[in-house]
Amino acid sequence: MSSLTHKHIVLGISGGIAAYKAAELTRLLVKAGAEVRVVMTQGAQEFITALTLQALSGNSVHTELFDLEAEAAMGHIELARWADLILVAPASANTIARIAQGRADDLLSTLCLATEAPIMLAPSMNRVMWNNPATQQNCHTLKDLDIRLIGPASGAQACGETGEGRMEEPEVLLNAVASHFQTGALAGLKVVVTAGPTREAIDPVRYISNRSSGKMGYALARSAREAGAEVTLISGPVHLQPPEGIACVRVETAEEMLDASLKAVDGCQVFIATAAVADYRVAQPADQKHKKTQEDWSLELRRNPDILAQVAQRPDAPFTVGFAAETQQLEDYARDKLVRKRLNMIAANKVGQGLAFDQDDNALEVFWPEGHQSLPMQSKDRLARSLIALIAKRLHSSDNIIDIQHAKN
């Protein structure tokens, strides 16, 4: 599975002969599923054209800090927030120095200063420039700032010399970016995720359902897979493609989802219930299409089984994570569900006009018996990665560690 599906990568290109390799790097990133936005310094534009990078990335290339049109389309702060990772390749000695000093005198350095995303640099320069104590000191500063350097490699250089300073090859840089997202936090564990709505038939053509898009559940399944887990996704009817490398079981009704969940949770260590399960089904769905003969029509509804509660109450219950969609008293209702359903964790979000359902962004308040963490408004993909990291952390905490050891043996 490519771990770059849905990842937002800002590729910064600075001035150096290796800039021509950024074209191949862009192609590889896009092929691996990433969405790439290229930022070029003035120096970079002397070596390779923006048009090439625009054609390869499928997005317009950003070059200026003060450009009215570009700022209106996607401003520099927006771009800094959009990035899941910034890769600067090639990173010239000058760019390295400017990022190390926290300068903000062009678009690329400003982005590096304005982002909370991780930054990776692929140094590229003549071997004497690389070995210069000033460059080495800048690189130490970068490491202290948690900025990762990939390379440089050794070998023949464009200037005719041989030594350390060549930019790493595009394939090496691609792997470094991909492995950043493969955290291994759930390696060796089995995770089951329910997602989407359920559909409860009224008659052969009508049903009761809800607005759930399945986006959060699919993003969680993908993130759990990236974290090294073996994932089963049990999905109600949605318009999403099952993520690669994940076993997907398609269901319609709550009862079908329950059956599939009970089968899948055998031997699993984590169960995440994101599905918006219909609380009620029609007591007796009609065999034939209902005709509008009467003025009023009442449906008798019957309570559906609570899938999450049933899984959490098993003697061999996995680490169970529920979701709570609330319009008010978020913490009270969420904590009540945490206790009542005997969950290990609950992720609560506010719902209502323009919030959560069918949106690409969401925010969560996550509660567990002895703690709480807020995950602010962000894309569901990024939110899913944060939640999976939090689940892994709680799972590996001293309270739960014994179960995991058991799973791995």
Q: Which DSSP letter does residue 352 get? A: B
Q: Which is nearer to ligand CTP, 93 or 347 (CB)?
A: 347
Q: What are the structure tokens assigned to 179, written together?
A: 């492995």
User: Does 193 participate in binding ligand CTP (rule CB under 6 A)?
Assistant: no
Binders of ligand CTP in range 306-325 (CB under 6 A)? 306-308, 322-325
Work out which of 53, 150, 231, 277 binds ligand CTP, going by CB under 6 A: 277
CA distance 214 to 196: 4
Give the x-and-dash track for 244-263 against ligand CTP (CB under 6 A). ----------x---------
For residue 236, the minimal CB distance to ligand CTP (Å) is 10
Q: Which of 109/304 has CB closer to ligand CTP?
A: 304
- The interface with ligand CTP within residues 117-156 (CB under 6 A) comprises none
Of the residues 112, 177, 265, 273, which one makes contact with ligand CTP according to CB under 6 A: 273
Taking the complex as a whole, the smallest distance from the CB of residue 281 to ligand CTP amounts, in Å, to 10
Sign of CA dihedral 139, 18, 73, 380: negative
Task: Give the E-state strand segments of 14-132 in sequence order.
Answer: 35-40, 85-91, 119-123
- Sheet-wide strand order for 85-91: 35-40, 8-13, 85-91, 119-123, 148-149
Q: Which of 19, 275, 345, 384 binds ligand CTP (CB under 6 A)?
A: 275
CA 186 – CA 224 distance, rounded (Å): 7
> Least Å distance between CB 210 and ligand CTP?
9
Cα separation of 49 and 61, whole Å? 10
- Is 338 a binding residue for ligand CTP by CB under 6 A? The answer is no
Tokens of 391: 């689940």
Under the binding rule (CB under 6 A), the answer on residue 345 touching ligand CTP is no
Question: Does 233 help bind ligand CTP (rule: CB under 6 A)?
Answer: no
Residue 217, interface with ligand CTP (CB under 6 A)? Answer: no
Residues whose CB falls within 8 Å of the CB of residue 121, separated by 6 or more in sequence, listed in order: 87, 88, 89, 91, 95, 96, 99, 142, 147, 148, 149, 150
Residue 361 carries which side chain, given as an amino acid letter? D
Contacting ligand CTP within 279-308 (CB under 6 A): 279, 304, 306-308
Parallel, antiparallel, or unpaired: how do β-strands 8-13 and 148-149 relate?
unpaired
Considering beta carbons, is residue 99 or 275 the nearer one to ligand CTP?
A: 275
User: Rounded to an integer, what distance in angstroms lies between the CA atom of residue 131 and that of residue 134?
Assistant: 8
Q: Is 112 a catalytic residue?
A: no
Least distance (Å) between residue 314 CB and ligand CTP: 13
Interface residues with ligand CTP (CB under 6 A) are: 194, 254, 273, 275, 277, 279, 304, 306-308, 322-325, 337
Enzyme catalytic residues: 159
